[in-house]
Amino acid sequence: MGTRLELRQSMGQHMLLAPRMLQSIELLALPTLELDAFLRDEAEQNEALAVEESPRSEPFERVRARTSQDATARHDEWIQSQPARMSGRTERLCEEIALLGLDATTETWTCWLVARLDARGYLPYGEDELLASAALDGLSGGASALALAREALARLEPKGLGARDAIDALRRQLDPNHADFALLQSILSEFLGELARNRVPEVARALGVDIPRLRELLTQLSQLDPAPGAIDDDGPAPVLRPDLVVERDDQGAFEVRLERSHWPSVSLDARVQRLADDRAQPREVRSYLRGKLERARWLVDALELRGTTLLAIGRAVLAHQRAYLEHGAGHMVPLTMTAIATELGLHTSTVSRAVAGKYVQTPWGVLALRELFPQPAVDGAGARDDVREVVRELFSRENPRAPLSDDDAVAALAGRGLSLARRTVAKYRAELGIASSYLRRRYA
């Protein structure tokens, strides 16, 4: 009996998130306190992006409208005005480089690489990208000079500077002469995924060690720094900046506006635009700069979309919470993000990301925007925050070698007089950052 082959067609809908859409979502979710740092990093990594701090007393729209004859000079001035702690790190490392006894070209290249480290101490660029950027900055020597500079960078303290990512940073900190070097390398190269799924016994068997010995190895790795260039800031806490401001006009109506005076102004660098169109430049340099310009254009547009989305959500939410604006605490009405998303034609996850880490200044003080979404009681069990605290306390008292499943938690809570559905317990557990019972299990 022969095999029968058939061709079939089917139709279905699938949503694919393009990289640019994912980046827009990332920018929307950034709290305002992190937006400055994000744009600062982008400006340091992207020659095509000109970023200018907005004067606090000047409305954002006028700052944005203001242009300069030389955007490059503005970009350089902004970089030089960044907090001293960043330039201090570069200055300290360049002083250390001067003690290595390098030739002048390698020393210059190494300091140039140091200036391109991100806040974690990573150098997340490919060789072609670095060479094109170096040529734009007038450095000579090409790939051989870059290779020598990378070697010099690896000699600096703290170890791990110049890594591509966290795993690479940890590898660079391992001592090749250490007795456990091979085992530690194997863990970083082969078994991090297994360990993330708490498959401790399987990893121990694969390495040929027992579980206590594996715990010792993991303790050694935990003492390494996955972000060797990160800078501790023991200064005062940052000033809380509201993203939205609610004001009452002369007629008694409440107006919601976007507080953008503390947002930086972003634009395209004029010199990079000219170079990208200059056919006298090598083709690879023009191609590199066009990619940078495309990224910069996206940032300008995405920053504007971020503000528009946040303002629309803020106005919709505060329209529902007018009683709170009129009378203060105790007068908020239950409100869900799904309701606001439906009202505005957005996805619920978009609303959730937009309000995360954002604040609104009201007549009754500055509130986290999330506080304007009070939840009703759940399953008849009482106030949401009170119930969540009971769930947290229950899991905190479990036996780590036999952690509670969600079904176990439902039964235990029922014994306390709280009737919760399993999905509700799972939801609270996720909100509290408590992993599943499989991942929480601790092995002897």
pLDDT band at 386 (very low <50, low <70, confident <90, very high): low
Q: How far apart are CA 64 and CA 302, in angstroms?
A: 14
Q: Which residues pair with 428 in a beta bridge?
A: none
Q: How far apart are CA 288 and CA 134, in angstroms?
A: 12
- Condensed to tens digits (0 to 9), the pLDDT of residues 263-307 reads 777 778 888 888 878 887 888 878 888 888 888 888 888 888 888
Peptide bond into 226 cis (omega under 30): no
Q: What does the chain come to in residues?
A: 444
pLDDT band at 332 (very low <50, low <70, confident <90, very high): confident
**Would the pLDDT of 63 be above 60?**
no
For residue 109, the model assigns a pLDDT of 92
Residue appearing with tokens 């007795």: 179
Which amino acid is located at 278 in the chain? D
Provide the CB-side half-sphere exposure for 160 (13 A, CA): 22
Phi, psi at residue 121, to the nearest 5°? Answer: 90, 10
**Would the pLDDT of 440 be above 70?**
yes
Pick left, alpha or beta for residue 336 (phi over 0 → left; psi -120 to 50 → alpha; otherwise beta): beta
**Would the pLDDT of 196 be above 60?**
yes
Asked whether 400 and 441 are in contact (CB, 8 A), the reply is yes
Q: How far apart are CA 163 and CA 150, in angstroms?
A: 10
Q: How far apart are CA 147 and CA 305, in angstroms?
A: 41
pLDDT band at 317 (very low <50, low <70, confident <90, very high): very high
pLDDT band at 3 (very low <50, low <70, confident <90, very high): low
pLDDT band at 18 (very low <50, low <70, confident <90, very high): very low
DSSP string, 7-49: ------------HHHHHHHHHHHS-HHHHHHHHHHHHHH-TTE
For residue 381, the model assigns a pLDDT of 52
Percentage, residues of the chain above pLDDT 70: 80
pLDDT band at 312 (very low <50, low <70, confident <90, very high): very high
Note if the pTM is more than 0.85. Answer: no
Please tell me whether residue 124 adopts helix, strand or coil conformation: coil
What token pair was written down for 157? 């303290």
The residue that leads in pLDDT, 22 or 325, is 325
Q: In what helix (H) or strand (E) does residue 291 lie, and over which residues does it extend?
A: helix 283-320
Number of neighbours of residue 66 by Cβ within 10 angstroms: 13
Percentage, residues of the chain above pLDDT 90: 6
- Condensed to tens digits (0 to 9), the pLDDT of residues 97-130 reads 888 888 989 999 999 998 888 888 888 888 888 8
For residue 280, the model assigns a pLDDT of 79
Task: Report which of 434, 444, 378, 443 is spatially closest to residue 405, judged by C-alpha positions.
Answer: 434
Q: How far apart are CA 180 and CA 184, in angstroms?
A: 6
- Condensed to tens digits (0 to 9), the pLDDT of residues 398-426 reads 888 888 888 888 888 888 878 888 888 88
Flag the least confident range among 22-31, 32-41, 329-338, 432-441: 22-31
pLDDT band at 236 (very low <50, low <70, confident <90, very high): very low
Phi, psi at residue 267, to the nearest 5°? Answer: -155, 175
pLDDT band at 30 (very low <50, low <70, confident <90, very high): confident
Residue 161 sits at the vertex; the CA angle it makes with 156 and 164, to the nearest 5 degrees, is 150
For residue 211, the model assigns a pLDDT of 87
Task: Report which of 242, 237, 281, 246 is spatially closest to residue 261, judged by C-alpha positions.
Answer: 242
The bridge status of strand 244-248 relative to strand 359-362 is parallel
For residue 69, the model assigns a pLDDT of 39
**Would the pLDDT of 234 be above 50?**
no
Q: Which residues pair with 246 in a beta bridge?
A: 256
**Would the pLDDT of 370 be above 50?**
yes
**Would the pLDDT of 94 be above 70?**
yes
What token pair was written down for 387? 């119930």
Going from the C-alpha of 153 to that of each of 14, 105, 185, 416, 429, the distances in angstroms are: 46, 14, 21, 60, 44
DSSP string, 316-356: HHHHHTHHHHHH-TT------HHHHHHHHT--HHHHHHHHT
Burial of 18 (0-12, 13-18, 19+ CB in 10 A): exposed
- Condensed to tens digits (0 to 9), the pLDDT of residues 125-168 reads 888 888 888 888 888 888 899 999 999 988 888 888 988 888 88
Look over the chain and give the mean of its residue pLDDT values, rounded to a whole number.
78
